[in-house]
Amino acid sequence: MNRALVVVDVQESFRARPLWADTLNPGIAGSVNRLVALARAAGDLVVWVLHTEPGSGNPFDPESGHVRLFEELGEPLPGEPLLRKTSHNAFTTTNLQQILTGHGVSELRVCGIRAEQCVETTARVASDLGYAVTFVSDATTTDPLGRFSAADLLERTEAVLRDRFARIATVAELEAEAAVGPEKVAASAG
């Protein structure tokens, strides 16, 4: 099974907004970097997605200078697509599905900013398109919304995705699976 990691909206636009002070996981870049390293080591495709709102005058307007990956993430490697979307999910206004199909991808890992919005919506659409989806919870963050805390929103997102649209996992769980995987293969071959 070919796999891809889709990193959704881990961009400076969010840190340029006052709400960033209340985000659940301000250190998300560290978790995302671990997940990207894991994907690259496994030979998985890494796809970067940025949200844009052209002409809005807000931090998501490309003219603002904030529509760029967090500096701590570095630049995508050659062959890693960097897509710009204008919808909540990463499929509708990009060629993501075409890219995934071209690489023979059937399994996705998704992470990013706004757990209950862009990351969840991307996971749901991916599931509907037939991809096996893993939502990586600790490489995902959000901020409070109305009376709901950021932690409440992440918990709710995990609950509605779990076993219906996605498997829920942490970076550490995926790292452990990767470390155990080759040993299991070797043991069963012996």
Whole-number Å distance between alpha carbons of 33 and 93: 26
What is the Cβ-side half-sphere exposure of residue 140, based on CA atoms within 13 angstroms?
A: 29
List the beta strands (DSSP E) in 67-177.
Answer: 82-85, 105-113, 132-141, 167-169
Are the C-beta atoms of residues 108 and 133 closer than 8 Å to each other? yes
Based on the number of CB atoms within 10 Å of its own CB, is 85 exposed (0-12), middle (13-18) or buried (19 or more)? buried
DSSP conformation class of 75? P
State yes or no: is 111 an active-site residue.
no
Pairing of strands 82-85, 105-113: unpaired
- Quote the Cα angle for 158-161-165, to 5°: 155
Q: Which of 8, 90, 105, 118 is catalytic?
A: 118
Q: Which residue has the tokens 């999910």?
A: 89
- Quote the Cα angle for 30-132-108, to 5°: 35
**What residues are annotated to the active site?**
118
